[in-house]
Structure 1
Amino acid sequence: MAFLKFLKFKLRQKRVHDAVSDENTHDNILDDFVARRFSWDEIQVITMNCSSSRMIGYGGFSSVYLAKFLDSSLGAVKIQCSSERLDQVYKQELNILLTVSHPNIVRLRGYCDERDQGVLVFDYMCNGTLDEKLRGRGHDSSYLSWKTRMVIAFQLALAINYLHDECSLQIVHGDIKASNVLLDENFNCKLCDFGSAKMGFTSLVKPPSSSSMSRNRMIVGSQGYLDPHYLKTGLASKKQDIYSFGVILLELISGKEAFCAKKRQNLTTIADPMMRDPLKVRDMVDPRFDSDHTFQLEEAKIMASVSGKCLGQSPSTRLSANEIIKIMKDQVPSISYLFQKSATIAKR
């Protein structure tokens, strides 16, 4: 059974690679939504030679530039620093991105492998990240309504369920957090950054206490979102992503950050009373909901309970992404219009 799944995956991967076209058919390939291979010269053209004026993001290991294509559409070019470990990360991320396709996962437009630095080209998401929107940062500090937040949570659950249970080989994202949730022009969720992802069977990583840590894969993730069970054992699994999803639910409800650097405290600790007692949810919700006519306290109580069931100390007791989807469909009226829309389209 495992071999058949692997064979199916490899065949699918081959079809994707076979579809990568010649560099002169740029516009046609983009119209067909197939990732393509870019030349370095093309990358320089669409980013104005990686101009500092086009830089829209950076971190310790990569820089992101705004790209403008010949058809005037926009993209985001991620250029990764070069090192032996980062090269492996790049190949792993590219390998996964070439095999996934979901409306709530950022679309890979192409890549460039002509230089030492790994280059990935994505659709541009004009509304930035969920983290920026919740914190009022970025070029547009518009407020996210309760209804919009619930749609984002539902779409993120759909993306996670796709990775966990609908791909030929299960994928554990490994770094789900608010800054890795991009938002398009309609505030639809687009999960990004698969550099920490693992594909296939559950992976065992040496715990941080190991003396041979430097010779093994590092514990990956972000402060405030890290699953304590993963930190303790080094065992990465689907329930690691579920834990991180539970933290994001707390952020959506409260508006607070996953980790408060000033107090050196995780949001999971601060919100623990709310998850245990529905009567305390009102005290924890984002104060901006006071002027939000879409806010529903009963839904907030339901989502606080869901969050608690995602954050259980034992991974075996945590909800699956599919269970989260079902609960939201049945108990969160704020997202019901999504299914009404789907039903209308299906009738046409």
Structure 2
Amino acid sequence: MASFLCLRLKLRRKPVRVGESGFKKEPGPARMTKQQISKLTMSFSRSRVIAFGGFSTVYLGKFPNSGVAAVKVIDSGSSHRLSAVFRQELQILQRVRHESIVRVLGYCDEGEEGVLVFQYAANGTLHENIHGKWDSVLSWKQRMGIAYQLAQALEYLHEKCDPQIVHGDIKSSNVLLDSQFNCKLCDFGSAKMGFSSSVQPPLSGPEMIDGGARGRDISAATRPKCGRLATRMMMMGSPGYTDPHYLRTGIATKKSDIYSFGVILLELITGLEAISSSDCNERLVCKARQMLKDESKVTAMVDPRLDVGNNNLGVEVEAVASIAAMCLVDCPTLRPSASHILETMRIRVPSVGFLFSKDKGAA
């Protein structure tokens, strides 16, 4: 058994071409007409709207066979940049295949609006589930399963795709959850292919961006103000999640995604938002600084809804806090890779063991 696991770990490190990985293949997304999209959304009825983004609206689509989908309509007609973002997202989603990445079922590129049809995620976003939109509370085991699957998605993008893919906007509202609370990473509008991507950051730092989305934000773009479209549209990431090294240098790499993943780990531990809406927009990373320096202080910040003390999970929580601390170090080269994160979680976070009984590789 040990030799099998060792062999499997070695095989995982070999890069493969996107869409040529040897994994089980599924038919690519279908090109659809505007008439077909209209039927799916009941003529874009307001009653079917399930989410809004900066430049997009998401509708619940219903197929004749009773299947459902999320239909993302991107108003790209007013900007060549938005049109390019739509085509870039479509190009990447057409090529990637992984069980923890949302699957695109179809698309429409007729007219000024770009449309992407995705598999439907019945349990909304991770943001909604952590921060109180739903009455139920994600258990520690569910949270760790989601974190592990998200790390698997990043490992696939960063280490198994050729060229490598930087997602560019990892945040809890871009993590969808299906009916079994499995992770489905979405929104590749900011994604870049290649080892690193040079992208101009805002002139005066993260404060130039809006204070973060609330609720169901699945758009990479934020609505512009006062003619600052060009600057905003070149910005990668979201407030509270953006790699400080990127803000200083304008260079986004896969380690920028790892930083954002560290912020999500803090959200899962504390139940707090990446940017506090009630505390002068304080960043969670700043609020958790003492916890990150000293694992023994982590229990003071654990989400009280988790009842960690009575479930003997303190050691696991400290382990996850230490992983978050590694992801959030200032120097990108010192941050762990996604595969290193997975290996550490397998060893130090027993709660993810339930995932090993079935293959969670690329689909």
Q: State how far apart, in whole Å, the 2-side matches of 1:299 and 1:32 are.
A: 37
Q: Within 5 Å, give how 1:233-252 maps onto structure 2.
A: 233-252=249-268
TM-score with structure 1 setting the length: 0.86
**CA offsets 1:282-330 (integer angstroms, 9 cap, x no match):** 1010001127965611100000000000001000110110100000011
Pairing partner for 2:39 from 26, 29, 45? 45
Q: State how far apart, in whole Å, the 1-side matches of 2:304 and 2:272 are.
A: 10
Greater share of helix: 1
Secondary structure, counterpart of 1:187 in structure 2: coil
Structure 1 residues 342 and 80 mapped into 2: Cα distance closer, same or farther (>3 Å)? closer
**CA offsets 1:201-243 (integer angstroms, 9 cap, x no match):** 3111234339x99489622211000100000100010000000
Residues 265 and 324 in structure 2, CA contact (< 8 A), matched pair in contact too:
yes
Pairing partner for 1:328 from 342, 345, 358? 345
Q: State how far apart, in whole Å, the 2-side matches of 1:216 and 1:67 are.
A: 30
Q: Within 5 Å, give how 1:49-60 maps onto structure 2.
A: 49-60=43-54
TM-score with structure 2 setting the length: 0.82
Q: State how far apart, in whole Å, the 2-side matches of 1:290 and 1:307 are.
A: 21
Aligned to 2:283: 266
Deviation at 1:32, TM superposition (A): 4.9
- Larger displacement relative to structure 2 (283-292 or 308-317): 283-292
Residue 225 (str. 1) matches residue 231 (str. 2): no
Residue 289 (str. 1) matches residue 285 (str. 2): no
Q: State how far apart, in whole Å, the 2-side matches of 1:197 and 1:209 are.
A: 21
Structure 1 residues 247 and 99 mapped into 2: Cα distance closer, same or farther (>3 Å)? same
Pairing partner for 1:84 from 71, 76, 80? 80
Pairing partner for 1:168 from 153, 158, 162? 162
Residues 67 and 77 in structure 1, CA contact (< 8 A), matched pair in contact too:
yes
Secondary structure, counterpart of 2:113 in structure 1: coil
Residues 167 and 257 in structure 2, CA contact (< 8 A), matched pair in contact too:
yes
Gaps (5+ residues) in structure 2?
Answer: 1-15, 205-227
Residues 206 and 213 in structure 1, CA contact (< 8 A), matched pair in contact too:
no
Residues 155 and 188 in structure 1, CA contact (< 8 A), matched pair in contact too:
yes
Q: State how far apart, in whole Å, the 2-side matches of 1:305 and 1:325 are.
A: 13
- Flag the structure with more relative contact order, 1 or 2, with Cα contacts below 8 A and sequence separation at least 6: 2
Deviation at 1:335, TM superposition (A): 1.0
**1:177 partner amino acid:** K
Pairing partner for 1:198 from 192, 198, 202? 192
Q: State how far apart, in whole Å, the 1-side matches of 2:34 and 2:74 are.
A: 14
Deviation at 1:33, TM superposition (A): 4.2
Aligned to 1:127: 123
Give structure 1 regions of 4+ aligned residues with deviation exceeding 3 angstroms.
212-217, 291-295, 340-343
Q: State how far apart, in whole Å, the 2-side matches of 1:61 and 1:313 are.
A: 32
Residue 159 (str. 1) matches residue 175 (str. 2): no
Deviation at 1:107, TM superposition (A): 0.5
Secondary structure, counterpart of 2:144 in structure 1: helix
**1:238 partner amino acid:** K
Residues 247 and 307 in structure 1, CA contact (< 8 A), matched pair in contact too:
yes
Structure 1 residues 295 and 75 mapped into 2: Cα distance closer, same or farther (>3 Å)? farther
Secondary structure, counterpart of 1:265 in structure 2: coil
Pairing partner for 1:102 from 98, 104, 117? 98
Q: State how far apart, in whole Å, the 2-side matches of 1:213 and 1:40 are.
A: 28
Structure 1 residues 293 and 145 mapped into 2: Cα distance closer, same or farther (>3 Å)? farther
Secondary structure, counterpart of 1:182 in structure 2: strand
Number of residue pairs matched by the alignment: 316
Secondary structure, counterpart of 1:185 in structure 2: coil
Residue 308 (str. 1) matches residue 325 (str. 2): yes
Q: State how far apart, in whole Å, the 2-side matches of 1:342 and 1:84 are.
A: 41
Structure 1 residues 323 and 272 mapped into 2: Cα distance closer, same or farther (>3 Å)? same
Q: State how far apart, in whole Å, the 1-side matches of 2:296 and 2:61 are.
A: 49
Structure 1 residues 252 and 295 mapped into 2: Cα distance closer, same or farther (>3 Å)? farther
Pairing partner for 1:116 from 85, 106, 112? 112
Deviation at 1:60, TM superposition (A): 1.9
Secondary structure, counterpart of 2:38 in structure 1: helix
Q: State how far apart, in whole Å, the 1-side matches of 2:20 and 2:355 are.
A: 30
Structure 1 residues 72 and 86 mapped into 2: Cα distance closer, same or farther (>3 Å)? same
Secondary structure, counterpart of 1:98 in structure 2: helix
Q: State how far apart, in whole Å, the 2-side matches of 1:97 and 1:275 are.
A: 35
Residues 202 and 231 in structure 2, CA contact (< 8 A), matched pair in contact too:
no
